[in-house]
Structure 1
Amino acid sequence: MGNATMKPETAANPARIEYDPATSTLRCLGTWTLYGISQLEQTLPLSQSHPPVHAVDASGITQMDTGGAWLLQRLLADLEQQTRPIPCKGLGQEQQKLLRLVQGGSTSQQLTTAPPPGILERIGRLSWAHVEEALSFLAFIGETLLYFLRSMAHPSRIRWRPFLSNLQTAGINALPIVGLLIFLVGVVLAYQGGIQLRAYGANIFIVELVTLTMVRELAPLMAAIIIAGRTGSAFTAQIGTMQVTEEIDALRTLGIPPMEQLVLPKIFALVLALPLLTVFADMVGIFGGMVMSQALLEVEFREFAQRIPEVVPLSSFLIGVGKAPVFAVIIATVGCYQGFRVGGGAESVGRHTTTSVVQAIFLVIIADATFSILFSWLGI
């Protein structure tokens, strides 16, 4: 502020600093108030070439408010950074209280800046965060199971319209992307295996390689991974957006349990859709292998198709399809759980959607590995 906005007493006695070379003292004079320090504030911090200062004499300050106290504290801090702590003398009792008040606020701000945590502390915090999330996920699974049992005891509580809507989005609408990717997987599998079989003259064994691998492992696993990235993320985004817009709270206010309206229909729909998608993936993947087998190994479609019942037992087909409901429960549960954990805004929706996809794929692969070990022990 310029002098035009100063009060009369401030304009007559403005805040200023004078240097006494005899005693190496800075003398603070005038009215150190909000209206009088505007010109003086522009001269701070002091330059590196100022004369040596051994003390600050504030006895010449006629008036001082918190603005002036803040500027005086700034002056003392500037001097301390360039030399050493400088004593300040001559302040009245009230002025000393103002200065201590300003110094206390500055100190509290410095104390709030904690040093970065060490490596052990970071590991501990990360581990505890994972433990808390695991316990929260188990609690969510338990709550979902209770609502599932209630729905089985009272089928009239099942929300059929959301179920059919989710069945269309998770099943029918996913057919093109699942079909395209699994077809390409079948082509790649037949190509990579066919090169090796052709070197040994065992072209016909491409049927075993493609069909058994596709039916037992690749089709259910790839379909589950695709659905986790496509449908599981959509579940999280939908519920997360409803959390942000407080639609979940509105459902509870209306007496509609979010579990019955949002979670169970999604789980039921995906449990029905994923096995059907797995069967579809089996057929499309085998067809891709047939195309590449005819082009690379000269194994005709008819010969390939006639050999399938001979080399693929029904148990392998049922094992592949039987994994799908388990994968579906994992994907839908993780997607809904991460959706309910959203809080804040759009950034949280994106973060939990990414977490949902990663966790769902990770748990699906763990479940598939567990099935493989279990079937190996059982000799299936």
Structure 2
Amino acid sequence: AAAPPPAPRSRRPHWVTELGHQSHDAWERALASLRFVGELVLAFGRLLRGRSDMRGADFAWQLDQCGPRSVPIVSLVCALVGLIVAYMGAVQLARFGAQVFIADLVTIGVVREIAPLITAVILSGRVGAAFAAQIGSMVAAEEVDALRTLGIAPVDHLALPRVLALAVVTPLLAAYGAIVAMLMGGLVAVAIFGVEPLAYLNNSERALAVEHVAIGLVKAACYGVLVGIAGCRQGLAAGRSAQAVGAATTKSVVQSIVWIVIAASGLTVLFQRLGW
């Protein structure tokens, strides 16, 4: 008997084909994110008109989960970052005998850039991942389908209170983290480099202008909204298995950090161009 013909070997697609598929998938993900942002904007409009399915109790619960429970980790990380910034800056300033300007370096850098960025990254891992896991588990358990059956919009009921809670809490946590970082920087300047405490306080007060505080708070609010959008979007787009929920949690952290870095770069360039 004749031998059976060999099975055809699977050919790997050409690299141009793979690039096309990846580009198409990236475009589809970008469109899905834009659609979700549009749904959130419409949900916020319904909230302003008093026609939203969002409950005040859910918003208060998310405020408690995102804010007070994040204070310990924000305190620890911001204190260590303030120590690093003060020490590294003081080493360079000490060459010129200008250790007193540590206060200016720490105050402006922490308030404008570092505290909002570090706080948002912390919340992306602690809160954004929790949002994706919670909503993804509800998708897997068909609870989101039950909400739609009852005529309740999942974006209004699940995503809107979480995003609003992060928009409110993130600037407060960033302001608290900036204070902690400045105190730690003052401790380094006074205890290690011999700066007078009163001189450090005076320089910090002079450097802490209103525009620096406003820019830091605006950046923190923007980062918080991005973290909430990434977590809720990945949670609602998760599959109906435990593996899919885990993948959605990982994607939410990665996506939120990428968005935060892009937003930080764009806002920094924009404010510098405007002379702020």
TM-score (norm 1): 0.70
Q: Does 1:227 align with 2:123?
A: yes
Larger CA deviation: 347-356 vs 168-177: 347-356
* Equivalent position SS for 1:116: coil
Alpha-carbon distance in structure 2 between the residues aligned to 1:77 and 1:176: 71
Mark the structure with the bigger radius of gyration.
1
> Letter of the aligned partner of 2:120 in structure 1?
A
Q: How many Å separate the matches in 2 of 1:174 and 1:243?
A: 26
Q: Does 1:115 align with 2:11?
A: yes
Between the aligned partners of 2:52 and 2:28, the Cα distance in structure 1 is 35
Equivalent positions of 1:153-172 (< 5 A) are 153-154=49-50, 157-172=53-68
Please say if residues 194 and 296 of structure 1, whose CA atoms lie closer than 8 Å, have aligned partners that are also in contact: no
For residue 347 of structure 1, what is the amino acid of its counterpart?
Q
Higher strand share: 1
Q: Is the 8 A contact 2:46 2:52 kept in 1?
A: no
Of 99, 103, 109, the residue aligned with 1:207 is 103
Give the counterpart of 1:150 among 28, 34, 46: 46
Whether contact under 8 Å (2:147, 2:153) holds in the other structure is yes
Structure 2: distance between partners of 1:289 and 1:222 = 16
Which one of the candidate residues 237, 255, 271 is aligned to 1:341? 237
Residue 295 of structure 1 deviates from its aligned partner by 2.1
2:83 to 165, 177, 187: 187
Q: Secondary structure at the match of 2:22?
A: helix
Q: Which runs of 5+ in 2 are unaligned?
A: none
Q: How does 1:16-31 map to 2 (within 5 A)?
A: none
Matched-pair identity in %: 38
Residue equivalent to 1:136: 32
Count of residue correspondences: 276
Larger RCO: 1 or 2 (CA < 8 Å, sep 6+): 2
Task: Name the CA distance, whole Å, in 1 between partners of 2:237 and 2:148.
Answer: 16
CA distance in 1, matches of 2:207, 2:11: 65
Q: Which residue of 2 aligns with 1:282?
A: 178
Give the aligned partner of residue 228 of structure 2.
Answer: 332
Which residue is equivalent to 1:260? 156
Amino acid at match of 1:119: W
Gaps of 5+ in 1: 1-55, 57-75, 82-109
Q: Helix, strand or coil: the match of 1:297? A: coil
Deviations 1:89-110 (A, max 9, x none): xxxxxxxxxxxxxxxxxxxxx5
- Who is 1:16 aligned against? none
SS at match of 2:109: helix
1:77 aligns with 2:8: no
SS at 2:273 equivalent: helix
1:109-157: per-residue Cα shift (whole Å, max 9, x none)?
x56x742212111111111000001111111111111111011111774
Aligned AA (1:327): Y
**In 2, are the aligned partners of 1:203 and 1:297 still within 8 Å (CA)?**
yes
Structure 2 distance, partners of 1:157, 1:133, is: 27
1:24-60: CA deviation from partner (whole Å, max 9, x where unpaired): xxxxxxxxxxxxxxxxxxxxxxxxxxxxxxxx5xxxx
Aligned to 1:307: 203
- Note if 1:292 corresponds to 2:218: no
Once residues 344 and 118 of structure 1 are traced to their aligned partners in structure 2, the CA distance between those partners, rounded to angstroms, is: 33
For 1:354, the equivalent position in structure 2 comes to 250
- Sort the Cα spacing of 1:304 and 1:184 in 2 relative to 1 into closer, same or farther, 3 A: same
Separation (CA, whole Å) in 2 of partners of 1:159 and 1:188: 43
* Partner Cα distance (1:184, 1:314) in 2: 25
Distance in 2, matches of 1:311 and 1:261, equals 43
